[in-house]
Chain A
Amino acid sequence: MSTLVFLEHNEGTFTKGSLGVLSKAASLDPDTAAVVIGSGVSGLAADAGRYGAARVFIADDASLGAPLPQPRVDVIASLVQAHGFDNVLFGASVLASDIAGGLSARLDAGLNWDLGDLVVDGGALVGKRAALGDTVLVDVGWTSTPRIGLVRSGSFEATERPGAGAAESVSSDVRDFSTRASYLERLQEAQIGPAIEEADILVTGGRGLGAPEGFSKLEELAAALGGAVASTRAVVDSGWYPYATQIGQTGKSVSPKLYIGAGVSGAIQHKVGMQSSQVIVAINKDANAPIFDFCDFGVVGDLNEIIPALTALVKARNT
């Protein structure tokens, strides 16, 4: 077997998620290589070796500086064609998912996503995937090679293990259409309020708050409990609350002692950022909301009634 792992980097460091996939892959397959794509990234090869890569392919070119998927599909597709890797693995991210999807079509190669674990069974890779809002656990396989896999964030710990890390530079012809998207800028967002990772108690608001003003109710409850306020992507994308407070795949991973979700549906991409909370309380008016499948105390009801009443009760108890 031979395996290629895509290593994603931001501001000169690899993401923990992609390093975790590399360590896991190297533990299953000694013939594991990594690929690093970007501009000015040659220096990162040694780091890849420390997490188990026997070989590190580096595509370093000014035109690859922007974190866009399609030129990366071109690079990885030619690597796979040249070296015949059996497995091509990614740690899930916005960039990695878009690369993996494009690569799957380019090579007509099967893609399994949301993998929580990987095992080798009879010489072939098998993925373990929780599906349908984590209500079923599915063993998934591939009927041909290369097998492409996207690993759910947080599934594998990045652990150091020696790998030769022999660097090899690669180049690739980028397809014409791969250059038709242009990266304009990264918008910085100010960090405000207490960092949500530090808080023992997080009161999280979702789109069920109905309007940005709804957050003032949660701020009051959080203040009474001595916690902080967090949010979902839906409300951050809507501009209701700052990105710095977002929990989930593209936000922060938190493990507070208490998580209270109000008007949060509990989508998988949110869940991956808060499932290690010790105690989870959910208030949602939809009895079918997925969050009820993974909370400790769930209330089917209207947050507009319940949150102010709860705040008053907590305050009364405090005095």
Chain B
Amino acid sequence: MKIAVCVKEVPDAGPNRRMDAGTKRLDRSGDRALNAYDLNAVEEALRIKEAVGDGEVVLVSMGPAKALDSIRKGLAMGADRAVLVSDEGAAGSDLVATSYILAKALEREAPQLVIFGQQSSDSDGAVMWAAVADRLGMPVISQVSELSVDGGSVTAKRQTEFGYDRISATLPAVLAVSDALNEPRYPSLKGIMGAKKKPQDVLALEDLGIEAGRAGEGGSRTTVIAVGSPPSRGDTIKIEDDGTAAQKILEFLVERKFA
């Protein structure tokens, strides 16, 4: 079975996450990593491939060329190859433009399953799969916390605001997985060494037949008008545990009359 996994490079956690006041875009100059939530998607694809006994796991991404550094982690985990759509003309793409570009790249691969992570840690949108599924004309199941693939269909368990649902879909299908679906494996040393040699195609928009007007800011339908600071929460006390943290928490709880 051919499985495509959509993965994204994101700024690494913490202070690296900021918006550039000038471009009003995410600042991508700091440390970067593969979106942690996408590791669950890669892991699930590998498990399905292993269970089925044959097939191919292809990583599909849109981002700057240097994103390959992060994407290689998925190859080191065991994915077979990677396709990165990277083009100056794609910078600043919003959901409309990105989903169009990803769908074009996915159409070329024609996978039986397309797996997404739970959300990207820089956008927290948790919507990309629904847009891509509509463009591909495939059924979609999101927030998958249990999954079985059998023959021509998938059955999933997933949480909504009202409890758990069980949903099935015929293949080809799009899935978005919960970060609790599995425990992503650590790449082995051999995997890390081997990743560099696996096929890594970098495609321009032109290679996918995407007209300039459908990508980047021109292909986008949303805009950032202003970037500001949220109101601060006030005095936060933050300490490093030096062996006395429990005592300090107790003192805080006593001061606030909880203990």
Contact = CB atoms under 8 A, between A and B. Distances in A.
B258 A185 contact: no
A233 B126 CA distance: 15
Contacts of B200: none
Given A111-B95, A131-B124, A306-B249, A177 B130 contact: no
Interface residues of A, number: 99
A108 B170 CA distance: 26
Given A137-B229, A186-B164, A268-B124, A101 B159 contact: no
A138 B241 CA distance: 35
Interface stretch (B47-55, B83-91, B106-114, B215-223): B215-223
B18 A132 contact: yes
Contact of A101 (B128, B139, B158): B128
B121 to A, nearest CB: 8
A151 B71 CA distance: 32
A1 interface: no
Contact of B180 (A142, A181, A235, A281): A235
Contacts of A109: 96, 221
Interface string A97-131: 11111111110111111100000000000100011
Contact of B124 (A99, A100, A114, A136): A114
Given A150-B127, A184-B167, A300-B238, A250 B161 contact: yes
Interface size class of B (residues with CB under 8 A): 35 or more
B241 A234 contact: no
Contacts of A201: 258
A287 B14 CA distance: 8
Interface stretch (B59-67, B141-149, B202-210): B141-149
B19 A97 contact: no
A144 B223 CA distance: 10
A205 B14 CA distance: 22
Interface in B154-177: 155, 157-170, 173
A136 B96 contact: no
Interface residue SS majority, chain A: mixed
Nearest to A179: B139
A250 B237 contact: no
A201 B257 CA distance: 12
Contacts of A234: 178-180
B1 interface: no
Contacts of A237: 145, 159, 178-181
A305 interface: yes
A53 B85 CA distance: 44
Contacts of A73: 134
Contacts of B256: 258, 279
Contact of A298 (B122, B124, B238): B238
Q: Most B CB atoms within 10 A — which of A131, A187, A302?
A: A131
B189 interface: no
Contact of B166 (A184, A268, A296): A184
Nearest to A279: B256
Interface in B232-259: 233-241, 245-250, 252-254, 256, 258-259
A306 B245 contact: yes
A140 B224 contact: yes
B135 interface: yes
Given A186-B162, A257-B258, A302-B241, A104 B248 contact: no
Contacts of B143: 94, 250
Contacts of B161: 10, 15, 93-94, 249-250
A104 B226 contact: no
B131 interface: yes
Nearest to B145: A237
B9 to A, nearest CB: 16
B159 A288 contact: no
Contact of B130 (A69, A182, A310, A318): A69
A151 B13 CA distance: 25
23 contacts: A10-B162, A101-B129, A105-B96, A110-B95, A113-B124, A130-B230, A133-B124, A134-B230, A135-B17, A136-B228, A137-B227, A139-B224, A139-B228, A142-B221, A176-B137, A177-B139, A184-B168, A243-B164, A305-B241, A305-B245, A314-B253, A314-B259, A317-B250
Interface of B: 13-15, 17-19, 26, 94-96, 99-100, 103, 122-135, 137-143, 145, 155, 157-170, 173, 178-181, 220-230, 233-241, 245-250, 252-254, 256, 258-259
Interface of A: 10, 15, 67-70, 73, 93-95, 97-106, 108-114, 126, 130-144, 150, 175-178, 180-189, 201, 207, 225, 233-238, 243, 249-250, 257-258, 268, 279, 281, 283, 286-288, 292-302, 305-306, 309-310, 312-314, 317-318
Given A133-B17, A186-B166, A187-B157, 8 more contacts: A97-B130, A109-B221, A110-B220, A131-B19, A136-B230, A185-B165, A238-B180, A309-B245
